[in-house]
Amino acid sequence: MGHREVLGGWPDVAEAAGTADVALAHHVTYNVPDLGPFVRALDAAARHRVVIEMTAVHPNVPTRDLWQRFHGLDRPSGPDADLCLEVVRECGFDVAVQRWQRPGRRTDRAVTVAFLRKRLCLPYDAEPAVDAALPAGYEFDLRDVVTFWWDT
């Protein structure tokens, strides 16, 4: 399958990217500052279908208690996929939705601790404190996923 790389942010590079049978946004929508233009550009780029896939909750939600513990910060509980879906519908698209769970991924606790330490913006020497803050058997695993799509 051929492809063409276009460097830049969407929707700024939409014209340079051109059109495709399917336009896909895979786990990027939480980083989109203005979702309406992003979604409309996806629709304009798709000849047949637009597909958006994302975790049901923002990837930082599971670490809210750790942000409070290590930084004294109250992190938000959103946004979430339902808010994204609301924006897509407000743009006028007739959206189909499928909620599902991807298989769990077991990782070594040391890998999980290192990942969370980095996500929490803590220095390397904070890993023992992060490890101590996690319950036995803790897994950072965002399994709930939402896929939505519409035909163009």
Q: Please determine, for residue 4, whether its predicted confidence score (pLDDT) is greater than 80.
A: no
Residues 107, 139 contacting (CB under 8 angstroms) = yes
pLDDT tens-digit map of 98-152: 999 988 777 899 999 999 999 999 999 999 999 999 999 888 777 899 999 999 9
DSSP 140: -
pLDDT tens-digit map of 72-99: 999 999 899 999 999 999 999 999 999 9
Class of domain 14-151: alpha beta
Identity at 100, one-letter amino acid code:
W
Question: Sorting pLDDT into bands at 50, 70 and 90, what band is 2?
Answer: confident
Instruction: Specify the pLDDT at position 142.
Output: 78
Could you identify the residue written with the tokens 């989109």? 32
Q: Are strands 20-26 and 46-55 parallel, antiparallel or unpaired?
A: parallel
Q: Please, what's the largest Cα pairwise distance for the chain? A: 51
pLDDT tens-digit map of 29-67: 999 999 999 999 999 999 999 999 999 999 999 999 999
Cis peptide before 79 (omega within 30 of 0): yes
CB neighbours of residue 138 within 10 Å = 14
- Measured CA to CA in angstroms, residue 130 lies from 103, 106, 119, 151 at distances of 25, 18, 11, 45
Residues 58, 80 contacting (CB under 8 angstroms) = yes
Question: What is the CA 58 to chain-centroid distance, rounded?
Answer: 6
